[in-house]
Amino acid sequence: MEASVVVASNRAPVSFERNASGRLVGRRGAGGLVTALSGVFFRDDTAWVAAAMTDGDRAVALKGRVIEPDSHQRVRYVVIPPERYEGYYNQISNRILWFVHHNLWDTPRSPIFDDATQEAWSSYVEANRQFALALADESDRHPVYLIQDYHLSLVPGMLRELVPDAKIVHFSHTPFAGATYLRILPVNMREAILRGLAGADVLGFQSKQWAENYLLSARSIAGARVLRGGRLEFEGHDAAVRAFPVAVNAHPLRETAATQEAGAVREELRDWRGDRAMMLRVDRLEPSKNILRGFLGYELFLRRNPSWRRRVQFLCLFAPSREDVPEYQTYGEECLAVAARINEQLGSKGWQPITVKVQEDYRYAVAAYDLYDVLLVNPTYDGMNLVAMEGPLVNRQDGALVLSRNAGAIARLGRHALGINPFDLAETAEAIREGLEMPREERVRRARGMARTIQAHTPPTWLADQLDAVDHVRPPSRRR
């Protein structure tokens, strides 16, 4: 692929703050998406367009493009006024789009769309327009545009208007809501999102299920035709709608596991566990991860199988997430309260059924991966779920994976995991029992199968597959 690459995402791979002397200092950007993508877009001809998140970012933006530390990537910041950013990011992206794509609303009570919603939506539209304008400024390099996630759902269509011959990929890291659930959104929002995405040459999703959800919804767009082979025809433009499951880079993960710090954590955890079996979950503390039902399923397992009491430890590592969103704060409090109740009712002297740690500590999580006998990954809905793939790459206990059938990872790992309906406590409890009591030979077979499957895909091949798809939709001879 000779063309350059321009990535667009809400967060940048680098963020700037002023140090004690007032000098602007760049640091690696935060956020799961940036972490996942920074190791993929390694090319020297890559530019990255992202929102200015800090005062330092905004100061740098006045100087134009910057070079990311430790690479040759160029970063360009889009400066969105704070009041606009609040509507675009917190109100629409986090509290509406994230919730609709993960089916999170308690529909008898929420959502309620009002004038404030439409005002926030206008900020989302404006922010997407600013991204499209910034991307259009890169068009003289004839790049492939790789637009990331639900924050920028309108950008493909806007960019198509500005640069008609642009080569555009949009990738959704989240699930995509089913056609019926998506209709909860106000009509103008729903149609704008569907039309905006249709402006891409290639629409990428984590699994075939999410791609099919988009196509089912796109049938409602006036003038759109869904064709065989996952193609959408709209306003004289064809889009290929495909699954490109994101991959995990095993090398840095295992490097982290081999560090002295991770080794110290493993020794600490071995002492804590003793001769008991160990269950593990590693998640952000947020509603889509289905933590509450995970605790209740584990409680049901212990009540149905009292012989396992005092013989298993359940370690839960939670990273704080969007603590300024009221729904997240309330959910986190409920989860911790349920864990405390289970410990009080079922625990005994010298044994606590559940141990919860709320902390941002990647090395600690990687060290814990090494030791689990059962890894519980039970999101209500998840685009892929990287924990389901990271754990088996590090684990040395031939641990079993209990995996939600609503996680995109099920398409890749379903043959080797213990699949569950994440809403069914009885099935969750039975899968926990099966994982803990699985014969050694079967544990080894499943664990090796997972490791082989995960390592068959890499972040570079994930990128290459999308670039190849653009070539297939728009052959190089037709580009200029």
Same domain, 94 and 32: yes
Supply the range of the domain harboring residue 186.
Answer: 5-246+460-478
Same domain, 262 and 324: yes
Same domain, 29 and 68: yes
Same domain, 469 and 446: no
Same domain, 265 and 205: no
Same domain, 151 and 256: no
Same domain, 263 and 156: no
Burial label, 106 (beta-carbon count in 10 A; 0-12, 13-18, 19+): exposed
Same domain, 429 and 444: yes
Same domain, 73 and 180: yes
Same domain, 409 and 273: yes
Same domain, 321 and 439: yes
Domain count, the chain: 2
pLDDT, tens digit (0-9, with 9 covering 90-100), for 144-174: 999 999 999 999 999 999 999 999 999 999 9
CATH number of the domain to which 399 belongs: 3.40.50.2000
Would you write out the chain's pLDDT as a tens digit for each of its 480 residues? 345 899 999 988 777 777 777 777 666 655 555 555 655 665 556 888 999 988 788 877 777 666 655 555 688 999 999 999 999 999 999 999 999 999 999 999 999 999 999 999 999 999 999 999 999 999 988 899 999 999 999 999 999 999 999 999 999 999 999 999 999 999 999 999 999 999 999 999 999 999 999 999 999 999 999 999 999 999 889 999 999 999 998 888 999 999 999 999 999 999 999 999 999 999 999 999 999 999 999 999 999 999 999 999 999 999 998 888 888 999 999 999 999 999 999 999 999 999 999 999 999 999 999 999 999 999 999 999 999 999 999 999 999 999 999 999 999 999 999 999 999 999 999 999 999 999 999 999 999 999 999 999 888 899 999 999 999 888 765 444
Same domain, 415 and 275: yes
pLDDT, tens digit (0-9, with 9 covering 90-100), for 227-248: 999 999 998 899 999 999 999 9
Q: How far apart are CA 8 and CA 137, in angstroms?
A: 13
